[in-house]
Structure 1
Amino acid sequence: MATSQQAAVIFSAVVVLLLLSSLAHGRGAGAARQHYHVVQTSHLQPKSLCSGLKEVPSGGTGTWVPVHRPFGPCSPSSRGPERAPPSLIEMLRWDQVRTEYVRRKATGMADDMLNPAKPRVTMAQVDYSPNAAFGIGSGYGGSAAIDADGDGDSMILAQTMSIDTTVDVPWIQCAPCPVPECYAQKNALFDPSRSSTSAAVRCGSPACRSLGSYGNGCSSNSTRNGGDCQYLIEYSDDRATAGTYMTDTLTISSSTTVMNFRFGCSHAVRGKFSDQTAGTMSLGGGAQSLLSQTARGLGNAFSYCVPAPSSSGFLSLGGPATRSTNSRSSRFATTPLVRNAVNPSLYLVRLQGIVVAGRRLRVPPAVFSPGAIMDSSAVVTQLPPTAYRALRRAFTRAMAAYPMNGKMGNLDTCYDFLGFTNVTVPAVSLVFGGGAVVALDPPAVMLSGCLAFTPTSTDLALGFIGNVQTQTHEVLYDVAAGTVGFRRGAC
C-alpha cells in the first residue's frame, strides 16, 4: 500500500534509471536493442526542488506555457501551507469514474445527472491533470498576476488551470463566487467587472449558439437585449459548473494574446473540485476549445509534455514550425488521428501491438479495433482484456525473480522490492497504426511498484492512453495534418 507521501511523487517505486542493459532476445540488428532496464529501488522521499524544463518545445510558429504536476515542487499552486497529497488509490478510483464517463460520451450512452436513482460518487478531483497558468482579462483582478514586461506593473490576473483534451469549453471561477456556491481556490478569483475588455456573450449570438449541449439558456436579470448567454458543464462524478459565457483577453505568453477569447465564467459549482486550479483550459476538438479559437492565428495543432513530478513540462500551441523531413518535427513518431463518430471532439488513435523485452505480444490486431482515446487527464493506459492478459503474462514472466505483493486499487500486478537494491524491468513499447513505436521508460511501465496498465471491461470497449505512459514525451495533436506524434525525452 503506497503512503500519501509516495503518491505525491506519483511514479515513485521505480524511478531512478541507472543503466540500460542490452540483454537482447532477438537476432541480427535486434540483438543491439535494449530489452531491459536496470533501475534502483528506493525509499524515495518526495523531491522538494524543481529541476525545471529539460528543453524548449519544438514549436516555432506558436507559443507555449510551462506545465506542472498539481502537487509537485514546480507547481506554484503547491506553495504555501503543507497539506497531505491524495493517495494513489484515490487517484486511481477517480480515474476509473472519469474515464468511464468519457467512454460513455464517445459511445452516445446517456448520462442522466439529474436522475435520483443514479449513484452519486463523492470524491475530490484528485487527478494527474497537468496544470498551466494563463492570464485572463485586462487587469487589476488580484495579487497573483503576470508581469509581462518585468517592470512591476502587473496588469493581468494569472489563473492556474488544469489541461483537459476531452472537454471543449474553457472555464474559470469568477467573482462574485462565495463558498459553498463555489469552491475555495489558491488563486485569487477573477473579477470580470475589473477588466476593461470583459464582456458577456449575448443570447442568440453565433457564439452562444455554438455552445450546443453546453448551453444553459439566458440570464433572467440582465438588462441587455436578449439577456446574457449561460453555460453548464456536467462531469462524471456528479460535479458541475455553471455561469455566464463571456469574452476577454487571454494572455498565453508575454508575446501572445488572444482577443475576445470565449470562456465560461463560473458562479456556481456542484461537487468537489481541487483547490489547486481555478478552472479548466479545454483542448477538445469542439468549436469552443482553446485549440479551435486559436487555430486560425497559431495553426490547428497543439502539443504538451506531461513532466515527471519534480520537473516542468509545457503546452505549446501551433505545433512544430515545419513538417519537413529535415526539421525537428521529424523526431516525432506519428500515427493517424481518428475522430470519434459520436463525439468528434475526442481524439482517438489505433494501438496495434505491444512489445515486451524485445518480443511483440501475440495479440490479434482485431482486438485493438475499437481504438484508444488520447486523454491528457487519464492516469494509466487501459487495454482490451485480451491484450492486457498477454501483457501481464509476459511482464510477470520477466519479473519472476521478485515477489508479488497483492493489488493497489485497480492495479493487480504489484511487487515487493524490499531488500532489493536494483531491479531489472523489461522494456515495454507501444506500437501504433502507421508504424509509430513509442518506447516507455521504467516510470511509465511501473507505478508505485505495480504494472501501470489496466484492462477495459470488454475487448469491444474503447481504451485510453494515460499520461503515466506518455510522461516526458511531447505529444503532438496535429489536427491539420490528421496525425498524433510522440517525441521522447522532451521534458
Structure 2
Amino acid sequence: MASPLLSCIFLCFYLSTVHGAGEDSFVTVPSSSFEPESVCSGEFVKPEQNGSTVYVPLVHRHGPCAPAPSLSTDTRSFADIFRRSRARPSYIVRGKKVSVPAHLGTSVMSLEYVVRVSFGTPAVPQVVVIDTGSDVSWLQCKPCSSGQCFPQKDPLYDPSHSSTYSAVPCASDVCKKLAADAYGSGCTSGKQCGFAISYADGTSTVGAYSQDKLTLAPGAIVQNFYFGCGHGKHAVRGLFDGVLGLGRLRESLGARYGGVFSYCLPSVSSKPGFLALGAGKNPSGFVFTPMGTVPGQPTFSTVTLAGINVGGKKLDLRPSAFSGGMIVDSGTVITGLQSTAYRALRSAFRKAMEAYRLLPNGDLDTCYNLTGYKNVVVPKIALTFTGGATINLDVPNGILVNGCLAFAESGPDGSAGVLGNVNQRAFEVLFDTSTSKFGFRAKAC
C-alpha cells in the first residue's frame, strides 16, 4: 500500500485535475467515522414537555443508547436489512407540541429508529419504531398464541392490568372509519373491532383495535389513544414492542397534534435524536419545500426534487426525471431514485470515488472496500427541492452506509421515489400537513 504522503499527493492531484472542484465540494473523513460507537457516551435526553411541544428521545433500534441493547440478538447481514428495506418502497410505489428523545443503534444490523413511550395506567414503558409510512400504531399484547408473537425487548403488553384500557366496539364510528381506511378486519370475539396490518417487508399483525392512555413525557399524555393490540405477529427478527404510526390519516399520532411534527434521526454517533410532536409558528433555521401526496395512497407525504449536486457539480437532469416525487419515509433505509436520476448520480459518484475499489454486491451496486484507509475523501451530495430548498447530506453517514452509496434505483421515470432515513440523518425534518410543507434544519442532532 502506498505511503500516507503519496496517498495524499495522489488524492489532492486527483481531485484538482479530474474534478476541477473546490475543496469544499469534498470532505476528508477518518475511516473510523463509518463505524458506530459501541458505548452510549451521550447523555440520554429525558422526555419533556416544553410549552406546546413534547420532546421524545429517538434512538436507532439496536444502537448503543437503545433500551437494553444487550438483549439484541439479531445478527442479520446488511444484505438482509437492505432487502427488507427495498421491499417497502417497492410496495409504496404501488394537539400540543411534544418531543421525545431518539437514538441510532447498530449493535445488531438493523437500521430503524425507536422511541420509548408508555401505555396504560399505570404507565408501562414500550419501545416502538417511528414510521411516517404507517397510520395505525400497534403493540404486541397478551394473550398471544404460542409461536404467534415474537421475542421483544419488553414483556408483552397486558391490557388487563391497565385501568384506562378499553377495546373499541365493532359497531362504533371509530371502527367504521378504521375499515374505511383499509385497516379493519371485521369483528373479533366479544364484538370487538378488529384490525390488521401487513407490510411489504413481511411484517404483519392482527388483533383488537383498542384505546388507552399514551404517555409521551411527564405531563404530556394523550388520553384515549387508539392503537392496535396485536395478538398475532409475523415478522423478521427484532426486539421492538410495536410501531408508532405518523402517517397522514386520522388514525396516526401525528393527526392528534394537528398534523405537525418533526424528528431528527441521529447518525452513527452515540448521542440521541428526538421526535417532536406539535410545533410553534414560523420555526427558525429551516428551509422549506411544498408537500405533496401520492394519488390513491393518502398515508404518504412527498417532496419533489429539482436538482442533485455531486462533488460541487450539478447533474444534467431535466425536471421530468423527478416528476414522480419522493415519499419522505422514516421506515425506509435506502433512498430510491427514478431511473434517469439514479443512473446520473451513480455515474458522478463513482467518478468522484475512483481512488477506491468497487466492491461486488448483489443488492446495492455502488459499494467500496475502504479497508486499510485511515482517511477517506467523500464527495458532498446536495439535494435541491422545488422552491429552492437545498440540503447538504451529512458526510459520510448521510451518504454511505456499510461502505455503499445510500441510493438505489426505485423504478421508471414518473414513478414515486422514496427519501430514505440514511439521507435524512442529522436533519430536523418537519412535517406540516396543516400548511402542506416540509422543513429541513441541518445539524439538529
Smaller-chain TM-score bracket: 0.7 to 0.9
CA, structure 1 residues 250+44, in 2 after alignment: closer, same or farther (shift >3 Å)? closer
Choose which of 339, 342, 365 in structure 2 pairs with 1:412. 365
Native 8 Å contact 2:336 2:419 kept in 1: yes
**Residue 133 of structure 2 corresponds to which residue in structure 1?**
166
Q: Which amino acid aligns with 1:236?
A: A
Unaligned runs of 5+ in 1: 1-22, 26-30, 105-124, 140-155, 324-328
Structure 1 residue 65 displacement after superposition:
0.8
Residue 369 and residue 91 in structure 1: after superposition, are their counterparts in 2 closer, same or farther (change >3 A)?
same
Match among 35, 41, 44 for residue 31 of structure 2: 41
- Aligned partner of 1:102 in structure 2 is 92
Distance 1:54 1:356 in 2: 35
Q: Is the 8 A contact 2:34 2:397 kept in 1?
A: no
TM-score normalised to structure 1 length: 0.79
Q: How many Å apart are 1:85 and its aligned residue?
A: 3.0
Mapped contact 2:338–2:412 kept (Cα < 8 A): yes
2:151 equivalent in structure 1: 184
Is 1:185–1:275's contact at 8 Å kept on the other side of the alignment? yes
Greater strand content: 2
Q: Are 1:369 and 2:320 an aligned pair?
A: no
- Counterpart residue number, 1:112: none
CA apart distance, 1:55: 8.9
CA RMSD for the aligned pairs? 2.5
Structure 2 CA distance, aligned partners of 1:432 and 1:100? 22
Moved more, 193-202 or 411-420: 411-420
Query: What is the aligned partner in structure 1 of residue 228 from structure 2?
Result: 264
Q: 2:195 matched to 1:235?
A: no
Tell me if 1:281 matches 2:277.
no
Measured after TM superposition, the shift of residue 314 of structure 1 is 0.8
Could you tell me how far apart the structure 2 residues matched to 1:278 and 1:477 are? 25
Encode CA deviations 1:298-323: one digit per residue, 9 max, x unaligned.
xx30111111232211111003x230
What one-letter code is carried by the residue in structure 1 that aligns with 2:256?
A: Q
> Percent identity, aligned pairs only?
39
User: Are 2:184 and 1:215 equivalent residues in the alignment?
Assistant: yes
Does the C-alpha gap of structure 1 residues 168 and 65 become closer, same or farther in structure 2, counting only changes over 3 Å? same
**Matches of 1:476 and 1:168, distance apart in 2:** 17
- What is the deviation of 1:101? 1.4
Distance 1:404 1:384, change over 3 A: same
SS in 2 for 1:249: strand
Residues 140-171 of structure 1, C-alpha deviations (whole Å, 9 max, x = no match)? xxxxxxxxxxxxxxxx1001011111111111
Match of 1:15?
none
The 5-angstrom pairing of residues 185-200 of structure 1 reads 185-200=152-167
Contact 1:258 1:294 in 2 (8 A): no
Structure 2: how far apart are the matches of 1:391 and 1:418?
A: 24
The answer to which of 166-175 and 179-188 deviates more is 179-188
Which of the residues 443, 462, 473 maps onto 2:416? 462
Change in CA separation of 1:398 and 1:126 when aligned onto 2, cut-off 3 Å = closer
Which amino acid in structure 2 is aligned with residue 72 of structure 1?
G
Judging changes above 3 Å, is the alpha-carbon distance between structure 1 residues 450 and 240 closer, same or farther for their aligned structure 2 residues?
A: closer
1:73 aligned residue: 64
Shift in Å at residue 404 of structure 1?
2.1
Query: Offset at 1:401?
Result: 2.1
Work out whether 1:332 is the aligned partner of 2:296. no
1:252 corresponding residue in structure 2: 216
Q: Secondary structure at the match of 2:320?
A: helix
TM-score under structure 2 normalisation?
A: 0.86
Q: Deviations over 1:384-405 (max 9, x none)?
A: 1111111122112222222222
The aligned counterpart of 2:12 is: none
SS at match of 1:330: coil
Of residues 80, 84, 87 in structure 2, which corresponds to 1:90? Answer: 80
Range with bigger deviation, 284-293 or 51-60:
51-60
Indicate whether 1:471 and 2:425 are aligned.
yes
Alignment of 1:294-443 (within 5 A): 294-295=257-258, 300-309=259-268, 310-319=270-279, 321-323=280-282, 329-407=283-361, 409-440=362-393, 441-443=395-397
Contact 2:323 2:415 in 1 (8 A): no
AA aligned opposite 2:368: Y
- Aligned twin of 1:6: none
Shift of residue 482, structure 1, vs aligned partner:
1.0
Distance in 2 of aligned mates of 1:93 and 1:339: 25
1:73-112 per-position Cα deviation (integer Å, ceiling 9, x unaligned): 00004134x63532211111111112211222xxxxxxxx
Give the letter aligned to residue 136 of structure 2.
Answer: V
Aligned length: 411
Does structure 2 retain, via aligned residues, the 8 Å contact 1:24–1:34?
A: no
SS in 2 for 1:34: helix
Q: Which whole-Å CA distance do the structure 2 matches of 1:44 and 1:365 have between them?
A: 33
- CA distance in 2 between partners of 1:58 and 1:469 (Å): 28
How far apart, CA to CA, are the structure 1 residues paired with 2:45 and 2:236? 32
